[in-house]
Structure formats: structure tokens, C-alpha cells
Amino acid sequence: MTCYVTIGIGNRRYGFGLGLFAHPIFVGNWPQVVIDRVGNRSALEGLPQSRLPEFTREEIDYIKGTYDWFGLNYYTTALAQLAYKVDDLPGNASYDIDKGHISLVDATWKVSGTTSWLHQVPWGLTRLLKWIHENYNQPEIIITENGWSDDGSNLNDSDRIEYVNVISFPSFAKQNRLNLVGKMLSQEQESLLNEVCAQDGFKDFTFSVEEGCKKGDNFLGNVRIINVKENGMSKEKSYVLKCAETDLRVRSQIPVHSLYERERFVYETLLPTFEIFQQSRALKYPFKSYTKLRGCSVKDGDECLLMNNIKDAKFQMLDRKNGMDADHVSHVFRELAKFHSVSLAMKHLLPETYQSLTSNLEDVWQEMPETQGSYLRSTEKAFDHALKIVEGHEKATKALEKCQIELNNIFSATAMESNKLVVTHGDSWCNNMMFKYEDPGNLCTPTSMCFLDWQICKISSPAMDLFYFLFLSGSKFALDNHQTFLDEYYETVQKNLQHLGLDTNEIFPYERFQQHCKQNAAACMCIAMCLLHHVLMHENHATNFVELANDGLIFEKFMNQETYSDEYNSRVRDIIYMMVDHEYI
């Protein structure tokens, strides 16, 4: 199938192409544009009736709805331009004259070196899918065939890679939740699923795959929901499959393999070791806010993690665009306190075990030192805008100007050995958390939660987790009352350490906690200034790493922005004023 972009002829080209085959099945009868056009032409030719065979009512009723899904072969796109009026050449009965248009291509479109009609037009498939989606009652669509040809002489087939990335997985399908399906699992992933399903008692089952999150909700992988059903029985279960990005341009700029290795280590080694330690010590407030890994693959280029879908257990994810209220912020701070206190306790009670466990938990991004430069350049630009946001506020302006001069020192301080105090989550924002509500008398207050996405877990300051979360996902109320939440955090740490017979004043005195907050809050402010526009962005305007990969500047383009929303300005202004009022800057 070729997608035709029409120039002044509406739906005619689709009606005389794909519609001739699909319309009788999905709608009933021929497309109206075909009925009208051929009927008018037939009358001009002096025929007593239309050349187009007419369906009987019985035939329409018999054919309509006889489908399971919409199978589509797609390769390229063309332009369609008006060529014949309805009364042109009345003596010539011709399909070409009936349809009344000619096909054109844009000279700027990339063309295959061996197939002259094959042009690479990414948005063409998007438009075709949209047309099918809107005209045929949103059917399941399986792209059964597509591809890119060459003469086979160039093994570095970047053109084919580009075609597959921009054609085979159109952004419109993700943004608008099209029923675009197909064999979406690799052999490695399907093998992993079979193994886990066997553990769960499935013997003869079928499965379906759907997108697991909206565009803008996840950046370092592709999340899919796998729904499994035992044939002939009511037994069902759903899983979450998190797959690594396969685009080679992305993988050359982002340490994808290391990120999945890190997350596997956290799930398979670190968290189970923490759990054993907590159980052996009967810790009063244990950290249990994570899901269990069911299986994984770290095969280079096909990395994936398989977990139970905790939505089935009534866990919910909040809207990333809305700052969390006091109850949610309080819950997150307490859970982070439980998590961090395990590090503090193990480091003191089992120093060799802790050292062995955390010896390789340096920042994964250190593998890509150029990202530090991107951070600094992006932050410089964010500061230029922030100064406009606080214009007229003398104290805030002076504080930002001082921070801008000291940017290198601000980021360097977070990497100092004295700052590497505990194992941190590293990416503690709204979309990496899910909450459960089990109190029937208060269904708005979470009773438990689950942290997701441990790919950049690292040794760092506890304050990095706290302020990163507060700035990216906290409400203005949470900012204004952040000291209350910090005190609640410290109290939880203190209770856990005291339960183990440890002296908090020796291991983690409050003054040291305050020092960590002072030292790391500014870095988190800088990060928030660069990332908040992604947090607040509507999915229709969201981007992903594949779309940014062409010129080798993924990270810098991701951190930068061209426009600033009122909501962004308001959130950043609130953060800056809080930082100034509490003398963090």
C-alpha cells in the first residue's frame, strides 16, 4: 500500500485505492466517492446504469463486519493531484480517468538506491493509519509488510536503520492509542515470557501486547503490557515488559546496556540483600516499596525486564503534570527514609558486605562524560530564562547570578566522596512511583507505594533523592512546607537506626543531614530547571530520544527547550523563591 497525500481532492484517492477493498468489509458498500464518480461518468458515456457493480442489501449485510483485524502492507507515500474533471473524455471508460488524479513525489524525499518508487516519508504512514483509524471504526491494525531495499553492497546500512526507526513505529500510533498490533516481542523476550508463564501455571496460552505508557511518560526504554490468557479457561494475568531502545544512534549516545545492567543488579542483588538484612535484624520500619523482577535479559541490543503488572493489585500512577499533595509527599519521604536507613545501618554493622555490594554503584552517566558538558550548557540557558522569571526580585536575581557563576562547583560537589553517603534511587520523580489506597475511609491518602525504574540507582547523598523528587513532583504547598517533610524523613531514619541499637548522632547527626540538604539542593534546582518542561509537557508535544538522535546531541536537545509555558515559569519561580527564602542559595 502507498499512502497518498491528496491535493484538493479530499478522500478520492483513498476511496479508489484502499477503499475499494476495505470499505465493503468495514463500512458496507463501495466508498461513496467511487459510487458518485463512476455513476456520473457512466451517465456521460450514455450508459443506462453505472459501470460499477451494485451490491444488493443482502450482499452488504453479508460482507460488512467480516474481519478480525486490518492487515496493511505499507512501503511509501506519494502525492495525489487533480488530473481529470468528471466530464473529461466522456468516451473513454478508464479507471485512471474515473479516479481523476495523478501521482507525484517530492524531489526532496530520500529515494532507495535500487527501487525508484520507494521514498522515505515518515509522516506518510502516520496519515494512512490515522485515515484507517478514523474511517473504519478504530480496528486493530497489523502492519504485515514493509521494508527498504538496497543493492547489498553497504553493510553499514544506515538508510535501512533510519527507515525502520521512523517508519515502522509511527509516533501517531503511540500518541493516539491506535490499535496497532503485531509481533512486538523478540525471540529473547518471548522465551522469557514463556519461562515466567510456566512458573505461573500457564500451559496452553495466548498473549497480546499493547503499549504500556503514553509518550512523554518514559524515556530510557519502551514499556509494554503483555496480557496472557490460558486457552479454554478463565485464567488470566498481565505483565510489564520494559525493553531497551534498539536504535543504534541512541545507543551510541546513551549508555543503554549499562542502564539495564544496573537495574538488573538492583533487582537481583541489591534489593534482595537489603531484604535479607532487614529480616535478620527484624527492622521495625523495613523498606518493601518495590516490585519483584520476574525475569530479565541483558543480551546486548535486546535488553529487557519482565515484572508483574502491579496495576492488577490496584496500584495507580499519578498525573506527572500535577504536583503531589502533602499526603503523597509525606509518604514518599518516609519510604525514602526507610530505604536510605538500610544503607546507613549496613555500612556500620556489615561494612565489608556493604562495600562489596556498592563498589560498582557509581553514576552510570560517567560512562558518557560529554553529558556533563550538556548539563552545564543546558543549565546556563535555563538560568538565562530563570533570571527573566524572577525579574524585579532583587534577592532572587542576585542568588541566581551567583549560582550561574558557580555552576561547575555546584555539580562537582555532588560527586565528592563525602557526598556518597547512601544508595539512592537516582530518578525519584512521579512517573517512577505508583501508589495504593486501601483505607476505605480515606481513598485519597496512599497506604503503600512502589518505586519503579532503578536504572540510575547510585551511591550519592540522600538529599539528592529528596530534593529531586520535591522539585520535579511536589506541589507549591510541599515546597512551602518542605522542612516539615525533611523532619519527618529524618525522624523515620532515626527510628530505624535506634531500633538497631545505633546512635544516630554518631552515624548521621541532624547537622550533617542539614549540610547535605544545603550542599545538594542547588544541583537539584538546576536539574529541575532543565527537566520540568518534560514533566509538564502534554503527550502530543512530547519527544523521545529516537526523534532527537540524528545529529549526535540527544542529551543536550533533550535538556534544552525553545518555549516556556506559564506552568513551567510558575513552578520554577516557586522553587527559586523557596531556595532563596531558606538560604539554600
CB atoms within 10 A of CB 54: 12
Q: Nearest CA to 340 among 471, 532, 473, 512? A: 512
Same fold, 5-175 and 248-582: no
- Residue 113, strand partner residues: none
The span from the CA of 466 to the CA of 428, in Å, is: 8
Architecture field, domain 5-175: Alpha-Beta Barrel (3.20)
pLDDT higher at 103 or 329: 329
**Lowest model confidence (mean pLDDT) among 159-173, 247-261, 291-305, 448-462:** 159-173
In this prediction, residue 270 has a pLDDT band, given cuts at 50, 70 and 90, of: very high
Mean of pLDDT values over 576-582:
97
In this prediction, residue 7 has a pLDDT band, given cuts at 50, 70 and 90, of: very low
- Of 3.30.360, 1.25.40, 3.90.1200, 1.10.287, the CATH number of 248-582 is 3.90.1200
Q: Is the Cβ–Cβ distance between 352 and 468 less than 8 Å? A: no
What's the pLDDT tens digit per position in 85-110? 656 666 678 788 888 877 888 878 88
Q: Is the Cβ–Cβ distance between 78 and 4 less than 8 Å? A: yes
The span from the CA of 124 to the CA of 4, in Å, is: 8
- CA 32 vs. chain centroid, Å, equals 40
The span from the CA of 342 to the CA of 286, in Å, is: 8
Task: Using a pLDDT cut of 70, give the percent of the chain over it.
Answer: 89
According to DSSP, the β-strands at 76-82 and 101-104 are: antiparallel
The span from the CA of 492 to the CA of 451, in Å, is: 18
pLDDT at 507: 94
What's the pLDDT tens digit per position in 138-193? 788 888 888 888 777 766 667 776 666 555 454 444 444 445 554 467 888 989 99
What's the pLDDT tens digit per position in 330-364? 999 999 999 999 999 999 999 999 999 999 999 88
Number of H helices, E strands in the chain: 24, 17
pLDDT at 532: 92
Which sequence spans correspond to the domains of the chain? 5-175, 248-582
H/E stretch holding 175: helix 171-175
For cell 478508464, what's the residue? 94
The span from the CA of 575 to the CA of 585, in Å, is: 11
In this prediction, residue 544 has a pLDDT band, given cuts at 50, 70 and 90, of: confident
According to DSSP, the β-strands at 70-73 and 141-145 are: parallel
Burial 325-341 (b: 16+ CB within 10 A, else e): eeebbbbbbbbbbbbbb
pLDDT higher at 159 or 209: 209
What's the pLDDT tens digit per position in 457-511? 999 999 999 999 999 999 999 999 999 999 999 999 999 999 999 999 999 999 9
- 386 Ramachandran zone, left/alpha/beta (phi>0; psi -120 to 50): alpha
pLDDT at 555: 72
pLDDT at 552: 65
DSSP string across 505-564: HHHS-HHHHHHHHHHHHHHHHHHHHHHHHHHH--GGG---TGGG-TTS-HHHHHH--S--
- One-letter amino acid at 201 equals G
pLDDT at 164: 64
- CA 202 vs. chain centroid, Å, equals 30
Could you give the strand order of the β-sheet that contains 70-73, starting from the edge strand earlier in sequence? 70-73, 141-145, 180-181
DSSP string across 257-279: HHHHHHHHHIIIIIHHHHHHHHH
pLDDT higher at 91 or 82: 82
User: Phi and psi of 519, rounded to 5°?
Assistant: -75, -30
In 141-179, where do the E strands start and end?
141-145
Which residues does 441 contact at the CB level (< 8 Å), separation at least 6? none
The span from the CA of 509 to the CA of 333, in Å, is: 18
pLDDT at 2: 53
In 97-140, where do the E strands start and end?
101-104, 110-111, 119-120
Q: Is the Cβ–Cβ distance between 193 and 220 less than 8 Å? A: no
Q: Is the Cβ–Cβ distance between 108 and 152 less than 8 Å? A: no
pLDDT at 86: 57
Mean of pLDDT values over 387-415:
93
Long-range contacts of range 560-568, CB-CB < 8 Å, 24 or more positions apart? Answer: 560/378, 560/381, 560/530, 561/533, 564/385, 564/533, 565/533, 565/536, 567/321, 567/536, 568/532, 568/533, 568/536
Q: Quote the cell numbers at residue 13.
A: 484517492
**What's 357-378 look like in SS3?**
HHCCCCCHHHHCCHHHHHHHHH
For cell 515546597, what's the residue? 479
Q: Is residue 8 packed enough to be buried (19+ CB in 10 Å), middle (13-18) or exposed (0-12)? A: exposed
The span from the CA of 409 to the CA of 526, in Å, is: 12
- Residue 44, strand partner residues: none
The span from the CA of 430 to the CA of 474, in Å, is: 9
Mean of pLDDT values over 252-278:
95
User: Phi and psi of 243, rounded to 5°?
Assistant: -110, 145
In this prediction, residue 1 has a pLDDT band, given cuts at 50, 70 and 90, of: low
DSSP string across 403-416: HHHTHHHHHHHHTS
The span from the CA of 526 to the CA of 482, in Å, is: 18
Q: Is the Cβ–Cβ distance between 239 and 309 less than 8 Å? A: yes
**Lowest model confidence (mean pLDDT) among 75-84, 204-213, 357-366, 542-551:** 542-551
